[in-house]
Structure 1
Amino acid sequence: MANKVYKDAKSALDGLLSDGLMLMCGGFGLVGIPDKLIQAVRDSGVTGLTCVSNNAGIDGAGLGLLLETGQIKKMISSYVGENKTFAKLYLEGKLELEFNPQGTLAERVRAGGAGIPAFYTKTGVGTLVAEGKETKVFDGEEYVMERGLFGDIALVKAWKGDTAGNLVYRKAARNFNPMMATAAKVCVAEVEELVPVGQIDPDHVHTPAVFVQRIFCGAPYEKKIEQRTTRKA
């Protein structure tokens, strides 16, 4: 069995990065995002990236780090409301944006990972989302065609992984990660805990090892809070 284990994010991405890549990034807000891998991409200096992610992080965290350095050319997302840098770049014409309804984005990624080039959905019919896209009528209802998404590298974050590459996500941190892991030529996973093969119950595996080419343990992690709301007792 080929060795998939690397010592850190930089070595796990060695030889994979170049300008103009499409990166599939797991996470939802700041939950389940591949922090260490995003930092390594930033430090590599690659540019012209297209990033497929539910959101664009926040200022100073997540994909916001790559926006601040101007390394992202285009975002394919469903929500970008927490990032002032994103808004500034987009309004200045320095960033391309392809908006998707959240369920449509999830299905586009899942379809890409399953080898499905396109599918039809009712979501977005008659709105800006459907402009320029093929539509078709099924059983008297109009549907819009959406393309599957398949990238060059998937960057995912898991709670636990084994040395073969099997991954387990924890609660809401699972979010987009399982879909992203399948939808790229190479999947690189960072985990909070790395264990020997056999220590994860096969019934508990969320992403099978066949989808993961490289893995490393990124612990310890700082648990960032996206929005802090407080009130007086």
Structure 2
Amino acid sequence: MSKTWASAADAVRDIPDGSTLIVGGFGLCGIPETLIQALVEQGTSGLTAVSNNCGVDDWGLGLLLRTKQIRKMVSSYVGENKTFESQYLSGELEVELVPQGTLAERIRAGGAGIPGFYTPTGVGTVVADGKEQKEFDGRTYLLERGIVGDFALVKAWKADTLGNLVYRKTSRNFNPLAAAAGRITIAEAEEIVPAGALDPDEIHTPGVYVQRVVQGFGYEKRIERLTVRGAGVQVQGREGR
């Protein structure tokens, strides 16, 4: 049975206000741009977004922040978004900062059906506030809870009609984890091919984790932070695709 949907708007139409979304990507790399834009246009509000960061002011999850559709962010990095900063300082946005490795493992655990795990990361810091602590082999660990989203939004390079996904290079960051941790996972892809066209050994996310696939469009490479030297020679940049 084909899992392809006619449009991103159709695929996100039943996402209700107050949903928890796990969103793949890292900054501007591997983010589900088409699905995010569809949510902006739909106006779904009161969202909790679980993602490595919130993009920039005018792209990625920053678009949902700008329209004040996100109520809470669970992320590991917030440094590139002035809207994020202003909404947090004004009390409009609730923020849960999570160490990056812990965030990745919380999402992975949720997708694997593991309700919690112990980690030494954050012991002795504000990260430990209110969390159960336990000692193993003379070392203190914190109990962290797995995360499961009502929906997961991910970006793939290629998908087939059965929902099998292949990610491109660094887009294979949080996307495979997110795809497994959504009760309903919606994937957008740069290219959708017939079932059987993908080499099984190249599939990163099996279709069993994916309920909906849509065709993405309008992709462009953006630089999250550009540093130049001399006559404009780029020496550092974070690209997104």
Structure 1: distance between partners of 2:223 and 2:195: 33
Matches within 5 A, 1:196-207: 196-207=194-205
SS of equivalent to 2:35? helix
Query: In structure 2, what is the equivalent of residue 227 of structure 1?
Result: 225
Structure 1: distance between partners of 2:221 and 2:185: 24
1:59 aligned to 2:71? Answer: no
SS of equivalent to 1:74? strand
Contact 1:192-1:220 at 8 Å conserved across structures: no
Structure 2 gap segments, 5+ residues each: 232-241
Contact 1:193-1:219 at 8 Å conserved across structures: no
Structure 2: distance between partners of 1:146 and 1:9: 33
Query: In structure 2, what is the equivalent of residue 9 of structure 1?
Result: 8
Larger strand proportion, structure 1 or 2? 2
Amino acid at match of 1:219: F
TM-score (norm 2): 0.94
Deviation at 1:7, TM superposition (A): 2.3
Query: In structure 2, what is the equivalent of residue 104 of structure 1?
Result: 102
Over aligned residue pairs, what C-alpha RMSD do you find?
0.9
Contact 2:110-2:147 at 8 Å conserved across structures: yes
Structure 2: distance between partners of 1:209 and 1:147: 26
Of the three residues 144, 147, 150, the one matched with 1:146 is 144
Structure 1 gap segments, 5+ residues each: none
Matches within 5 A, 1:2-41: 3-14=2-13, 16-41=14-39
Deviation at 1:42, TM superposition (A): 0.9
Query: In structure 2, what is the equivalent of residue 126 of structure 1?
Result: 124
TM-score (norm 1): 0.97
The aligned length equals 231
Identity of aligned residues (%): 62
Query: In structure 2, what is the equivalent of residue 195 of structure 1?
Result: 193
